[in-house]
Amino acid sequence: MTALTLSTAAASGLRADAIVVGVAKGAKGPVVAPGAEAVDKAYDGALAGILETLGASGGEGEVTKLPAPTGFKAPVVVAVGLGAVPENDDTFSAEALRRAAGAAARALAGAKKAVFALPITDAADAGVLAEGAALGAYAFDAYKENGKDAKNGKAPLAEVTLLGGKPRDAAYKAALARATAVTEELNRARDLINTPPNDLYPEAFAAVATAAGKEHGIKVQVLDEKALAKGGYGGILGVGAGSAAAPRLVKLSYTSPKATKHLAFVGKGITYDSGGISLKPAGHNETMKCDMSGAAAVFAAVVSAARLGLEVNVTGWLALAENMPSGSATRPGDVLRMYSGKTVEVLNTDAEGRLVLADALWKASEEKPDAIVDVATLTGAMVLALGNRTFGVMANDDAFRTAIVEAAEEVGEESWPMPLPEHLRKGMDSPTADIANMGERMGGGLVAGLFLKEFVGEGITWAHLDIAGPAFNESGPFGYTPKGGTGSAVRTLVRLAELTASGDLG
């Protein structure tokens, strides 16, 4: 994990592999961003012109390297694009800073230390820059020789010093501590998502959660296949029936003695999804190790809440199973009796996420939390609707849905409010069971949300985050987002917990 520090020293006197400065896209060419004044002065005020000569425009994520000025202990200056110059002398947005820091950190893979002379006007800016740097430097190298990326042979950037951050100021120290805790847990979620399914199966995931609970004072309860059978968790057991790796339901409980509110987060944790008997075709199953991204997000959020000492009780439920075809697998046409007692006709075994979530949602509802939020890579329909970078938000309360979308925007995650049209519920009527796990094909993401709504306890505020699009990035990295597992929804869940703790949500 990249170490994060603050400094008010002069850029020229700091020993580092590189000095990172910001450059914005102006009407007449690149403009050097605040924070880099001393560096620009060392170039006799000609840094913008030099960058333009080198082809830099200041566009978002653009990275340009050049020799450092005479007298600097760092040998290289790295100019990273912040996008358009803010209008009316406004400051750069938090997300622009976060993305620039991420792009710079990724470009400096192999370096031991970099000094970031990017715009910092307050502690909040320092926090988002720290987030961007730590997330952008991430690399999954557990299966690489010597812990290095085989393509470029470079380890992630080891240390980032934020220039202009006040190391003795309480607000700055708090911002850095928050960024460190959240990014470390988010990057752990990324590691889990990227781990091959032969190594991350339900029991293995449960073991990771148990170890984290011991480390951070979180109570962890694991229901194995025998406990699940005794308790009547037909959804989780039905999905896991075809696999040699038995399912688990994991409960993580973080409690604060000062808490007056209780949040429950529920995560879909399909450690590998073949589709089951309704087998996915070739080309659609190679990345299905990521189908536990929702559970990874919930796990990371609960641990983050504990590390931050938030004054809110947070319970995380990880519904873990592997969906495989075999002679013991659930068949299309089978009827499962869920933990709630309701029966479900399984029309498609590849609509399995909603089955494990249904059991976990009903179990979470028994504790009467103030709100439940589930997170899942649930439907391809949501990807078709919103693309690869935006998750959909559905809820049984419009104000709560709005609050989640606003929280996501605040922390830099793209989301969009989606409806739950009641007329789509009829498509899930079954002549055999209480409900079918499939409905109308059009609006499939909304149908899945309506199915989950059936398993939320009466009177409980609930929201569903379908992160199927942004959970796993199959294209090239951008900003602070790597290729592979992204940790989507972690920061949104943490922000919801913070807002609840402060009394600003519900």
Active site residues: 280, 354
d(CA 5, CA 8): 11
Q: Which residue from 19, 133, 139, 135 is spatially nearest to 68, judged by alpha carbons?
A: 19
User: What angle is formed at CA 129 by the lines to CA 124 and CA 131, rounded to 5 degrees?
Assistant: 95
Residues 136 and 110 sit within 8 Å (Cβ to Cβ): no
Concatenated DSSP letters for 105-123?
A: HHHTTT-SEEEEE---SSH
- What number of CA atoms fall less than 13 Å from residue 173's CA on the CB side? 4
Structure tokens at 218: 């979180």
Instruction: Please work out, in degrees rounded to the nearest 5, the angle formed at the alpha carbon of residue 94 by the alpha carbons of 495 and 124.
Output: 70
Residue type at position 117: A
User: Is 418 buried (19+), middle (13-18) or exposed (0-12) by CB count in 10 A?
Assistant: buried
Hey, what are 214's tokens? 């011991």
Q: Which residue type occupies 285? A: N
Side-chain-side CA neighbours of 24 within 13 Å: the count stands at 21
Contact between 480 and 288 under an 8 Å Cβ cutoff? The reply is no
Burial class (CB in 10 A: 0-12, 13-18, 19+), 230: exposed
- Contacts of 498 by beta carbon, 8 Å cutoff, 6+ apart: 308, 310
| Contact between 275 and 243 (Cβ < 8 Å) | no
C-alpha separations of 317 from 189, 264, 372 in Å: 15, 8, 10
- Of the candidates 105, 95, 158, the residue with the CA atom closest to the CA atom of residue 127: 95
CB 409 within 8 A of CB 403: no
Among candidates 221, 200, 235, which has minimal Cα distance to 353? 235
Per DSSP, 145 falls in state G
The span from the CA of 2 to the CA of 109, in Å, is 11
CA 62 – CA 149 distance, rounded (Å): 22
Distance CA 256, CA 442 (A): 44
Q: DSSP character for 427?
A: G
Instruction: State the Cα–Cα distance between residues 76 and 68, nearest whole angstrom.
Output: 5
First-to-last C-alpha distance (Å) of the chain: 35
